[in-house]
Chains A and B, each alone.
Chain A
Amino acid sequence: MTTTLQGHALALLNRLARADWPDRFKLRKPLEGLLLRGSRAGFRLAGRRSAHGSTRPLLSGPGELFDLSLSEEQQLLRDMLAPFAVEVMRPAALEADAQGNLPPALRAQAAALGLVHYGVPESMGGLAGGPTALTTALLAETLAQGDLSLAAALLQPLSAAHCLRRWGSTEQQQRWLPALLHEDAPHYALAIEEPQVLADPARPATRARKRGGQYRLDGEKCLVLQGGQADWLIVSAQCSDGPALFRVSADADGLSRQPEPAMGLKACATTRIRLRQVKVERDARLAGRGFDHRVFLDLSALGWCALAVGTCQAALDYVIAYCNDRHAFGEPISHRQGVAFSIADMAIELEGMRLLLWRACARADRGLDFQEQAWRARLFCSEHAPRIGSAAVQLLGGHGFTQEHPVERWYRDLRAVGVLNGAMPL
C-alpha cells in the first residue's frame, strides 16, 4: 500500500518528535501545541485533498473575487514557523554571521521541520500538492523574520527541489527528488549569479557546448549560496538552443570552488565557482518541457523579495520596541515625529512590498503571466528594502551601527535584494 499524504506528514512529525533540539531551546511544549493544531488542520486538509482526488490546493476564496486572505494551510505554516524563526534562528544569527557559515545543528533542525517537502510532489513523498509560489514566499517571509541570511541558507534545499520539480523531466524528478527527503539528503546549491558588470542575467556568459553525448561547461559563477558545502550544483549555462540548467557534481573535474565573502549573507558562506571544461552527461541537463529562463529568474527574484519582506518586518518590529523603550530628553524617542514618521514610512513601504510580492506569486500560482508583476515587485523591493534597513540602523543611532543589535546585519543582508537574482526560485 502506498503511503498517503497523512502518512508522509506523520513520518515528518515522528522525526521532529525524536529530535532533541526542541528541548535544548525549551521549545518542545510550544512546538507540540503548534504541531497539534497544525497537524489536525493539516490532516484535515490532506484528507479533503485525497477525498477529492485532486492535487489542486484549496483556494482561499471564490476564485473570481479580490481576496487577500491566506489559505488555512498557509496560515498554519506561518504560525508554526514564526516561533522557530524568532526563538531558534534569531539567537543563532550573530554567531553564524561571525563564523561565516550555517550552523550544522540549525540545518538539522530545519531539515526536521521538513521544509523541503513543500518542493517535492505528493506522488514522490512530498507535500507539494500544486502551485508553490505563494506558499514558498510565505515560508521565506516567515523564516526571514528570524534572519535573512540564515533563511536563505536554510531554504536552499527547497529551492533546489523547486528547480528539479519545475524543470526536470518526470524521469529526472523520480531519480533525484525522493533523495532530498532523506535524513542524509545530498546538499544542493544553485550556481546562477555571474560576476560580469552590466551583464544580462537572462543570457548567462557560462557556456555549455555539446561534445558527443556530453556537454562541456565553461564559465564562472559568483556568490553561490552554500556553494562550498554542496554535493551537487544546479548551474545555469547558455546552450546553442538557449539557456539551460544542469545538475553538476561538485567534485567534477575542472570545477573549483573558493570562498567568496560578501557584504552580508555571511551565513550562506557565499562561494565563487569556476568551471573549466567540466564534462556532464547529456541527461544532467534539466529536460522538463518548457524550461523558460525568464520564468526561472522571475520566480527567483520573488524569492528574494519574500526574504526582504520578512526581514523588513523584523526590522520594523525591532525599531518599534527599541524606540518605545529608549528615552531621551525625558520621554521615549518614539514621541518625536522625526522618529515616529520614519517608522510610519517603514510600515507603509513594507506593506507595499508585501502586496506586490503576493500579487505576483498569486498570478504565478494560477498560471497567469506574471513577468510584469515580478519585475515591479523586484524593482520596488530592491529600492525600499535597503532603505528600510538603513532607517532601522538610523533609528538606533550609534547603537545601530554596532553588532549589539541585529539591524546592522540586516542592513548588509537587505542590500542583496535586487542585486542577486538566482538561487531562490519559489
Chain B
Amino acid sequence: MYLETPRKFRALVSQAHQVAANYLRPLSRTYDRAEHAYPKELDMLAALLDGMNAGAPEAVGAGAAGKRSEGAADGVRNGGNLSACLAVMEMCWGDVGLLLSMPRQGLGNAAIAAVANEEQRQRFASVWAAMAITEPGCGSDSAAIRTTAVRDGDHYVLNGEKIFVTAGARADAVVVWATLDRSLGRAAIKSFVVEKGTPGMTVTRLEKKLGIKASDTASISFQDCRVPAANLLGSPEIDTQKGFAGVMETFDNTRPLVAAMAVGLARAALDRSRTLLEKAGCRFDRQRPLLVLQHAEACWHRYEAEWEAARLLTLKAAWMADNRMPNSKEASIAKAKAGRMVGEVTLGCLALVGAQGYGEDELLEKWARDAKILDIFEGTQQIQQLIIARRLLGKSSAELK
C-alpha cells in the first residue's frame, strides 16, 4: 500500500505545475474576459508539450488516458491513466478553461485512445479531437441520440445537430456519436471521427457561458456529411448483447480525468484562500484541536479533507484502469465526489475570503464559476449517482430509472 505520488511521475507533476503557474495562470483573467478569443499562446505551449511527451515514457495529456497496458501485466502498474490524472490536476490548478483548449489534449483524444483500433490510433495520433455527444433533445440520456449515420459505399453519411462541443470550432476533428439504426437503441450508437472542413459539417454558434470562457463551446450541424467508413471507431457491428458498453467505455477513462480537473481547480482555491487567511491572521496550526480554531480556519480544514477524499478517489479510479480492473463504478464515484467537492470548496473558499473573494481582482470568483461545469459534463452528479446506485443495488436502467 502506497498512496503517494509515485516517484516516476514526480518530475512530470513538477513540470506540469510549472506550466500551470508560469504559463496558464497569467493568462487566466485575460481569456475569462475575452470569451471566444483564441488563446494563441497555447499553440506554442502545445508544441512544447508535444516535444516533452515525445521524449517521455509517460505522456501528459488526455490522450495518455485510456491506453490500457498491453501484454501480460507483471505486478502493479502506474501508467497513462494515473499520469494523465496527476498532470491534469496540476494544469487545472493553473486554469481549467485553458487546459480544455489545449491543442491535442481534447476529450476526443481520450475517446480515440479508449476505443480506436491500432490503425486508427496511429492515424489520429497527432489530431486534436473534440467530443460531440449532446444534442438539443438529449443530454444525459445519450441513448436517445438522433444523429444518424447511414452507410453509403466507403462512407457513412451523418445527419443531425450537436451542441456543447468543447473546443468544437478549434479542434482538428470531432468525435461524433451517431446511431446506425434508431430502432436498435443503444447498441447501434457508434462514434465517428469527423475531420474539420468535411463538407456538410458547420459550426452554427458559440455559447456564452458561466465559466471556462477560455474554452469554446460549439454547436455543430451535420447535413449529409460524408465520413470515411474507416473513421468509425471500434467495431461497426451492432452487438445487441454488448449494447451500449462499447461507446460507454470511453467514460471509464474520461470521468477520472474530469474528476482530476476538479481536484486541481479546488486546490487552487484552497491555496489562494489560505494565503489570504494567513495574511488576515489565521495560523493554520494543526497542533490545536479543531474545536477551538477560528471558524474560517476550521472550514478551510474541512474543505481540504473533502478535497483529499476526491483526490484519492480519482487516483484510485485511474490506478484501476492502469491495472486493467473494471472501474466503471469507481470512475463514477470519483466524478461524483470531485464534482460535488469542487463546487462546495470553490464557493466556500470565496466566502471565507469575503467581499475580496467576490471581486474580479481575485481569481476565486472565476474558479467558483469554472467549477460548476465539472459537476455537469461527462455525466452530471445525478447521472453518476444513478450509475453507482444501479451497480450497488444490482438494478437495470429499466428498474432504477
Contacts and interface: CB of A to CB of B under 8 A. Distances in A.
- Our verdict on whether A and B bind, yes or no, reads yes
Contacts of A316: 392
Interface string A53-88: 000000111111111111100000000000000000
B309 A353 contact: yes
Given A379-B290, A380-B309, A65 B2 contact: yes
Interface string A314-330: 00100010011000000
A334 B395 contact: yes
B1 A376 contact: no
B70 interface: no
B78 interface: yes
Q: How many B residues touch the partner, as a band?
A: 35 or more
A341 B382 CA distance: 8
A178 interface: no
Interface stretch (A96-104, A160-168, A196-204, A260-268): A196-204
A335 B77 CA distance: 38
B315 A66 contact: yes
Given A61-B76, A66-B319, A340-B400, A359 B304 contact: no
B373 interface: no
A240 interface: no
Do most interface residues of chain B lie in helix, strand or loop, or is the interface mixed?
helix
A377 B302 CA distance: 10
Interface in B257-308: 286-292, 301-302, 304-306, 308
A359 B392 CA distance: 25
B400 A375 contact: no
Nearest to A316: B392
B394 interface: yes
B333 A362 contact: no
A343 interface: yes
Interface stretch (B5-13, B16-24, B200-208): B5-13
Nearest to B5: A66
Interface stretch (A2-10, A30-38, A142-150, A344-352): A344-352
Nearest to A64: B7
Contacts of A358: 1, 3
Contact of A134 (B1, B302, B304): B1
B337 interface: yes
Contacts of A376: 301, 304-305, 308
Given A65-B76, A341-B385, A352 B2 contact: no
Interface string A334-370: 1101001101110111011101101101110110100
Contacts of B78: 65-66
A383 interface: yes
B393 A343 contact: yes
Given A200-B289, A355-B309, A355-B312, A337 B1 contact: no
Given A348-B388, A380-B308, 14 more contacts: A63-B2, A65-B76, A335-B395, A337-B385, A337-B401, A341-B382, A343-B393, A344-B388, A348-B313, A348-B333, A349-B337, A353-B309, A356-B305, A362-B2
8 contacts: A65-B6, A201-B289, A335-B395, A337-B382, A340-B395, A356-B308, A372-B286, A375-B286
4 residue pairs, one from A and one from B, having the closest CB atoms: A352-B309, A340-B389, A355-B312, A61-B76
Interface of B: 1-8, 75-78, 82, 286-292, 301-302, 304-306, 308-310, 312-313, 315-316, 319, 330, 333, 336-337, 382, 384-386, 388-390, 392-395, 399-401
